Amino acid sequence: MAITEENPGYKWVGTRPIRPDGLEKVTGKARFGADLVLPGMLYGKVVRSPHAHARIVSIDTSAAESMEGVKAVITGADFPDLAANGAHPSDIDVANNAIARDKVLYEGHVVAAVAAITREQAEAAAKAVAVTYEVLPHVLTVDEAMADNAPLLHEAMITKGVDPAPEEPSNIASKILHERGDLDQGFGEADAVVEREFTTKPVHQGYIEPHAAVADANSDGRAHIWCSSQGHFQMRAYTATVLGVSPGTLKVTAAEIGGGFGGKTVIYLEPLAVRLSQRAGRPVKLVMDRDEVFRATGPTSGTRIKVKMGVSKDGKITAAEVWMAYEAGAYAGSPVGAAGMTAIACYDIPNFVVEGYDVVCNKPRVAAYRAPGAPMAAFAVESVLDELARNIEMDPIDIRLANAAVEGTQASYGPKFPRIGFVETLEAIKEHPNYTAELGPNQGRGVAAGFWFNAGMMSSATVHVNENGTATVVTGSPDIGGSRQSMALMAAEELGIPYESIKPVVADTETVGFNDVTGGSRVTLATGAAVVDACRLIVEDLRGRAAKTWDVEVDQVEWVDGQAQHVDGAQPPLSLNDLAAKSGRTGGPISANASLNSRGVGAGFSTQLCDVEVDPETGVTRVVRYLTAQDAGRAISPDYVEGQMQGGVVQGIGWALNEEYIHDTEGVMENPSFLDYRMPVASDLPMIDCAIVEVPNPAHPYGVRGVGEVGIVPPMAAVGNAIHDAVDVRMTELPMSPIKVLEALNENDG
Amino acid sequence: MKYVAPSSVEEAASLLSSSPSAQVFAGATDVVPQIRAGRPAPDVLVDLKKIKELVALNSDGDKWTVGAATPTAYLTEDEAFSHEFPGLSEAAGLIGSDQIQNRSSLGGNLCNASPAADSVPAMVVNGVRAVVAGPNGTRVLDVSEVVTGPGQTALDDDEFIVEFEIDKMPSRSGDAYLRMIPRTEMDIAVVGAGARVTLADDGSIEQAVLALGAVAPTVVRIPDAEQALVGSTADEETLNAVAAAASEACDPIDDKRGTVEYRKQVAGVLAKRAVVIAIERAEQRNGTN
């Protein structure tokens, strides 16, 4: 760990105890989305479009309805027509993505669903739903979608963010623009200029657990949903929207979650399960197969990005011009906005233009994926910066230090940075032995950096002190990355009782106050702050009870090491256990709630160092050494912080080397399985070395920034820069598969 | 779909003759996923793993016999076998994962008839023979004759492989198998290359057999490369000729796993590398071992 500020005497924060959810997970007792079975429960199956783009002419469900065991068949007509009701466009998109009404916009788009007594009956009935399509021409990439006279997904889509608004519809949903200074002047001052064009493919979040939902609807219109998600309050809101009901009629219980990475912040199965359950009068379970997960959920955008940057001889970036187009999939909403804000945010650049386009195409609607939008932009910008450093013969860390954003820098996306730790991550890399480790034949070394905002948003927590002085910490943030442990550690620190005496719980939507999704690296920051607030209310309450017991003023009572102490030692201390046992005589149960809208985020930076070895005859790239340095603000749970840092890197390496959606000419996905969608396996990777940097975030009681996302931003450029260092080819297309690397090597030889 | 587990070859043969859509399986590592993926299920699934002689690895004076349903883990974990046939053993050790290798078999890997099956080029270079049982007794086929195209074999519907026969490795001989995959494991060969050589007393190559997988509908031998090697010491020029002949022998397709160009080029690279490894191994197998 590279620690810039000493731990101010914390007893629990920063330690590495056993995780609270570990036992249930290793013994198989943890209940994930698909594990729930209710009495009388039916099995559902979804009917999906085989076409990338088609008009639904008719759906005949009569054969399916008359089959043995079938209890319900639903189509888009079983849901309210939100467009006719004048709903918000983004809500209409959510509804139409859950089940198509008039048109299917990608292969795998839901057109109907069935529920039957057995899974086999449901599968047979799904096959018997007869859908007549009028197949339409499709567009799969931003190039196809932005071409003149391209077939339109949404006939009325007028590009937003362009003044004056275009008169003709197109597949471009919106344009974003960030500008500063004077590009011509900036490039005029440059001693070296590099201009490159990059393409990346859609990639999936690749969570191990497929989506699953069970719904049990009552005849009074209420329903209970159990599902695996990154935010059951969000699932409740979206499901209520699609069903056209009040959120209060739905109760959502969060199942244990087997990975999300952003992809489980959206709904797919939940409204279908509720409607099937209502029609059948019995609980209904829907579980996706892996190929459905690939065809219809996630992924993140494929992109085309052009970058032109100039530097002076001393390494100062004088100008940057970035143009990017991001695939949104079927509905508006690619992460190009975040991409535009993050692309050059690591650096203090006087002259720049960043222009971006959100483009719809006939692929599944993109979902958030770990620092959404930032990794592709960083691949382009950090590759160009690497080339510029080479051109002026400057060390890749030094060129980044020469331009690094620091406290007070006007960020490229607007605000002035408060205290940040980018420089510290660069220095941590430079000081690490990996930076000077000897390289073997065909090996090369690459550096890249990345930025992510980290989110704040809304959280609630409740803390109950039990009658024996232990505590239950209740939040509504599903634990996808270790948040139960970090909540328990912060509560232990605040209450002054052992970590083991605290039970962290993720409660359903009716048992705890509202929580936004577990996403944006926000939970340890925002939900953590709510837990700290609630614990401080508890401590205030306990001091009051001790004061009452001793008949002194409350300011005579301090809370130290889990006990109330009289400031003059005039009374024997009262432990939490003592106070809890007497709670009935001092004011009743000891409990506190806290809810907040986060008071301030702490931006995250990561710098990474990658060593690869390239087989010059086969184009195979192996990562032989990898170091990631990341500013955590404060590592509440260092084990989990390292896990997040390593996880981001590993997903980035997969994105860099082999992962991609492959479609045939009809727009049908060809590799919807883990065999041919090649995520890295354990033997593909070295141990990912971690250097945790701690530059505390002033807006959090313990200095937390959030660590879940920024780690995935630099890897593709780090790998690409290392490949260049190893074999002198500049890779501009992802994935940098053996085929593409060998092609590039052949061109170099030719 | 009915599941049956006969305990003898005869019982299995009669089950197959009496039920037209019956299908044999060993580890089920291909059959079950294929059925789950929507391939029509047979009326009867015949489990060969309960027939004792089909799950056995034995060596007598002249040859090894490997029961058709023997888990491929036997081939990687039997020290004598893997020492004598390191290439075939390594090929068996590339199929799926450790868990898969406790179920997967040479018989299944061959009869699934995937062009990319890892064990097949390694069996072909070692001249492995398949003993095939049917309603009228048994017949013997060279492994190279079994697969006739993707998913197609020379076996009749009521035939199945009982065991494989592998002649003992002569002295001054060695085998090797290499495959190209983008990852390090849990993948399907983009190109596979097997080689076996026998050295003369003077160190030159007396005999060479090369076979490629995943670059044509069936495994292909590379006669031009074999001829170039015989009599040579596998100097750089010869190895380049081997690579060129291997690339030339390919008849690959463009698909999601690889392009024609890539497969041709890398087939040459792997063929060359496999030959070099086989020679090193042959040099170490002097005299009696």
Residues A162-211: tens digit of each pLDDT? 999 999 999 999 999 999 999 999 999 999 999 999 999 999 999 999 99
Q: To which H or E segment does residue B18 belong? A: helix B9-18
Interface test with A, best of B36, B186, B215, B273 (most A CBs within 10 A): B186
Residues 6+ apart with CB under 8 A from A10: A493, A702
For chain A, give every domain's residue range: 2-29+456-597, 418-454+602-749
Residues of chain B contacting residue A619, judged by C-beta atoms under 8 Å apart: 262
Q: What is the pLDDT of residue B288?
A: 45
Q: Cα(A533)–Cα(A473) distance, rounded to whole angstroms?
A: 12
Answer whether A471's CB lies under 8 Å from A534's CB: no
Cβ of B184 and A658 within 8 Å?
A: no
For the structural domain made of B2-167, what CATH number should be given? 3.30.465.10
Mean pLDDT of chain B: 95
Residues in A 589-648 with any Cβ partner in B closer than 8 A: 617-620, 622
B187 vs A: CB within 8 A: yes
Residues 6+ apart with CB under 8 A from A459: A475, A476, A477, A515, A516, A522, A523, A526, A527, A529, A530, A595, A596, A598
Q: Cα(A543)–Cα(A545) distance, rounded to whole angstroms?
A: 5
pLDDT at A1 over 50: no
Q: Is the dihedral of CA A374, A642, A673, A27 positive or negative?
A: negative
Residues A346-394 have pLDDT tens digits of 999 999 999 999 999 999 999 999 999 999 999 999 999 999 999 999 9
pLDDT at A248 over 60: yes
Q: What is the pLDDT of residue B21?
A: 86
Residues of chain B contacting residue A681, judged by C-beta atoms under 8 Å apart: 183-186
Phi first, then psi: give them for residue A212, nearest 5 degrees: -150, 145
User: Domain spanning B173-284: which superfamily?
Assistant: CO dehydrogenase flavoprotein, C-terminal domain (3.30.390.50)
Going from the C-alpha of A720 to that of each of A241, A613, A676, A743, A747, the distances in angstroms are 43, 12, 22, 15, 17
According to DSSP, residue A364 is labeled: P
Angle at A529 between CA A526 and CA A535, to 5 degrees: 145
* CA–CA min distance B186, chain A (Å): 7
Going from the C-alpha of A205 to that of each of A99, A193, A259, B82, B215, the distances in angstroms are 22, 35, 9, 40, 32
**HEC states along B69-131?**
CCEHHHHHHCHHHHHHCHHHHHHHCCCCCHHHHCCCEHHHHHHCCCCCCCHHHHHHHCCCEEE
Interface size A-B, in CB pairs within 8 Å, comes to: 49
Q: To which H or E segment does residue B65 belong? A: strand B63-67
Residues A495-504 have pLDDT tens digits of 999 999 999 9
Cβ of A671 and B262 within 8 Å?
A: no
Cβ of A737 and B182 within 8 Å?
A: yes
A680 vs B: CB within 8 A: yes
Query: Where does the pLDDT of residue A6 fall: very low under 50, low under 70, confident under 90, or very high at 90 and above?
Result: low
3-state helix, strand, coil in chain A (%, to 5): 30, 25, 45
Residues A72-119 have pLDDT tens digits of 999 999 999 999 989 999 999 999 999 999 999 999 999 999 999 999
A669 vs B: CB within 8 A: no
pLDDT at B117 over 50: yes
pLDDT at A552 over 70: yes
Residues A30-79 have pLDDT tens digits of 999 999 999 999 999 999 999 999 999 999 999 999 999 999 999 999 99
> Domain A2-29+456-597 has what CATH class?
alpha beta
Of A658, A737, A742, the CB nearest to B265: A742
A658 vs B: CB within 8 A: yes
Q: Cα(A618)–Cα(B266) distance, rounded to whole angstroms?
A: 6
For chain B, give every domain's residue range: 2-167, 173-284
Cis peptide upstream of residue A151 (ω within 30 degrees of 0): no
- Here the contacts of B135-144 (C-beta below 8 Å, separation 24 or greater) are B135/B13, B135/B14, B135/B16, B135/B17, B138/B162, B140/B165, B143/B110, B144/B211, B144/B219, B144/B221
Answer whether B250's CB lies under 8 Å from B223's CB: no
Cβ of B262 and A738 within 8 Å?
A: yes
Collapsing DSSP to helix, strand or coil, B201 comes out as coil
Collapsing DSSP to helix, strand or coil, A181 comes out as coil
Q: Do A418-454+602-749 and A2-29+456-597 fall under one CATH topology? A: yes
> Domain A418-454+602-749 has what CATH class?
alpha beta
Q: Cα(A175)–Cα(A169) distance, rounded to whole angstroms?
A: 14
Q: What is the pLDDT of residue B20?
A: 82
3-state helix, strand, coil in chain B (%, to 5): 35, 25, 35
Of A618, A622, A683, the CB nearest to B266: A618
Span B195-210, mean pLDDT?
Answer: 97
Residues A597-617 have pLDDT tens digits of 987 899 999 999 999 999 999
A676 vs B: CB within 8 A: yes
Cβ of A678 and B182 within 8 Å?
A: yes
E strand spans, A435-547: 443-452, 458-465, 471-475, 502-506
E strand spans, A19-75: 42-48, 54-60, 70-75
B242 vs A: CB within 8 A: no
Residues of chain A contacting residue B185, judged by C-beta atoms under 8 Å apart: 681, 683
Cis peptide upstream of residue A164 (ω within 30 degrees of 0): yes
pLDDT at A3 over 70: no
Cβ of A617 and B266 within 8 Å?
A: yes
A665 vs B: CB within 8 A: no
The verdict on ipTM greater than 0.85 is yes
Q: Cα(A57)–Cα(A720) distance, rounded to whole angstroms?
A: 47
Q: What is the pLDDT of residue B289?
A: 43
* CA–CA min distance B104, chain A (Å): 17
